[in-house]
Structure 1
């Protein structure tokens, strides 16, 4: 079975030779893995040695360079200034005082023409035999809250409903149109559309299920339908305690749910697989908060097998950590141990209740 076949098999209810494996991490984390394995580069480490099954291609920004300030902060095409590690945090909220739909309409949102969506021939050659993840990450919830400020956003969901609805719509439409262009410019190439918005904390949701359904559900359904119309499977990333949303995510049509933070409130993997395992593929669940970060390689291997036994018990599982972006503080040896054990454990050690 090739990685291309393996990567989508759980969502298609097809028998596997082993569970597919996905990796996401900071470039420094990847380099730590390269060094620990004693190989030449990231591709050799992740694909030749560890056996990762997915390669991701997102649209490339080709617009005007962004303003970078002396303190290291940088402007973005959303008109937000960001600071901090990696993508950073918003330190300005340009629509904080917006109190009318006109304020939203008059704002300068990003232009999809500033992005190149075409996956090159060189990239396709590099990805031959692998499952290709494409489209956009589509974090329109985060962009909406950052433009106006999170506290202000949550208040105005109740006090300025039309303003928030217009804001969410504008943010969503940017990603929808850009993702649509990705599919049109790469016909038959994208195997998985994998998007992300964090709706949960460690204890509960950031907003009520009712408000989530009002502002987000139907929009997300629209972009999932788009991906399905081009023959791609779909996965959603949402950190935290999102159990109350899982029936809605399944109803929308998602084929897989990531990252399954098993130490968050009401995210017990045995309960999740019993309640939802027939209807969706679980994607992740190997604890990054404590096990991968702090424990021994032996403990990591034991936890990897435990999660495979639980979340893989119905044959619908993708091996990954419970966080989509592993930071350099996570020991490379533990990341390697997770994938080595998952690759070795595979379907050959299935219990009698596995397919």
Structure 2
């Protein structure tokens, strides 16, 4: 199998020669350590040596105020990239003092138009740079729940969900519309050469959901379903990201049509691989599972290899083996990454 075939088989829970695996997107410091360890010129060479199956590309976005689509909204009206370097959900956003929908509309927030800031030529170029045998995944993020929290300030937003839901829905709808248009531009540009998109919202803490399942159902799932349905209309798989303990939200994400859940934060409550297999086997696939809180930073290569063997036994298919955080931190020894991939890419007989 090549990487594309292996990725699709894994995510569709079909037989594979081995599971698909993904390094994720290491921080610049960790990427440098890995390059030095593998004697590689860049992180893409590292991924090639590791036999990583997924080539991830950030959906390009360049406006006068930012250069990342996940920071497209200037909620604090400070401009000039401030949200990339100091991104927060808790500071008061421009709608913080709004008391009803009319107040929100009077704020006269300038909603960005992705068509002005996403170059179709750049979309095509970055996707065409992908190795022809790798599964290409667009990193759209489309974190509309996190964005709406930032728009009001998280505490204000969570209160407004209960007391003034109409204005939260209004802002969220505008955000979802932005991401749907951005997705359309990207997918229309790349001529069917993208196999998956990663979208999602962090809605879990270490011990449980940050909001109730009922509020997830009302404020997170409708936007997620619109985005998932749009991606599926182009024949593209959707990997849905949320850190933390989201066990209670997984049935809702299954109903919304997500193809896989990322990243299985292994030490969060209810996210133990055994529990996920018991409750959701055959209903959805997963991506992640190799703990980045304790195991990868502090464990030995032997311990990492043993965990990968355990995960492969639990999930002969339906699990893309990957660190349980896509942004691999510099506290992870390269030897442990080598152990992860050495075990993940073995062909078991």
- Residues 33, 336 of structure 1: 8 Å contact kept: no
Tell me by how many angstroms 1:177 deviates. 1.2
Aligned to 2:74: 78
RMSD, aligned CA: 2.2
- Residues 58, 117 of structure 1: 8 Å contact kept: no
Q: Does 1:247 align with 2:234?
A: no
Aligned to 2:340: 338
2-structure distance, mates of 1:46, 1:86: 27
Cα 1:12–1:34 shift into 2, 3 Å: same
Aligned to 1:101: 101
Aligned to 1:115: 118
- Residues 56, 139 of structure 2: 8 Å contact kept: no
Cα 1:308–1:169 shift into 2, 3 Å: same
**Equivalent residue runs for 1:1-355 within 5 Å:** 1-24=1-24, 25-47=26-48, 49-65=49-65, 77-80=73-76, 88-89=87-88, 91=91, 93-105=93-105, 106-112=108-114, 113-118=116-121, 119-121=123-125, 123-134=127-138, 136-310=140-314, 312-313=315-316, 315-344=317-346, 346=347, 348-349=348-349
* Pairs aligned (count): 337
Structure 1 window deviating more from structure 2 (115-124 vs 29-38): it is 115-124
Q: Structure 1, residues 160-215: CA drift from partner, whole Å, max 9, x if none?
A: 11111111111111111111111122231110121121110010101000011111
2-structure distance, mates of 1:55, 1:64: 28
Tell me by how many angstroms 1:104 deviates. 3.2
Cα 1:211–1:79 shift into 2, 3 Å: closer
Secondary structure, counterpart of 1:246 in structure 2: helix
1-structure distance, mates of 2:118, 2:284: 32
Tell me by how many angstroms 1:308 deviates. 1.9
Secondary structure, counterpart of 2:198 in structure 1: strand
Cα 1:176–1:135 shift into 2, 3 Å: farther
Aligned to 1:353: none
Secondary structure, counterpart of 1:89 in structure 2: coil
Structure 1 window deviating more from structure 2 (84-93 vs 122-131): it is 84-93
- Unaligned runs of at least 5 residues, structure 1: 68-74, 350-355
- Residues 60, 117 of structure 1: 8 Å contact kept: no
Q: Structure 1, residues 253-283: CA drift from partner, whole Å, max 9, x if none?
A: 1111111112111222112102111111111
2-structure distance, mates of 1:99, 1:88: 24
Secondary structure, counterpart of 1:239 in structure 2: coil
Cα 1:7–1:104 shift into 2, 3 Å: farther
- Unaligned runs of at least 5 residues, structure 2: none
Q: Structure 1, residues 99-133: CA drift from partner, whole Å, max 9, x if none?
A: 23234342112221222244334641433111111
- Residues 33, 332 of structure 1: 8 Å contact kept: yes
Q: Normalising by the residue count of structure 2, what TM-score does the alignment of the two structures yield? A: 0.90
- Residues 130, 136 of structure 2: 8 Å contact kept: no
Structure 1 window deviating more from structure 2 (115-124 vs 209-218): it is 115-124
2-structure distance, mates of 1:321, 1:242: 17
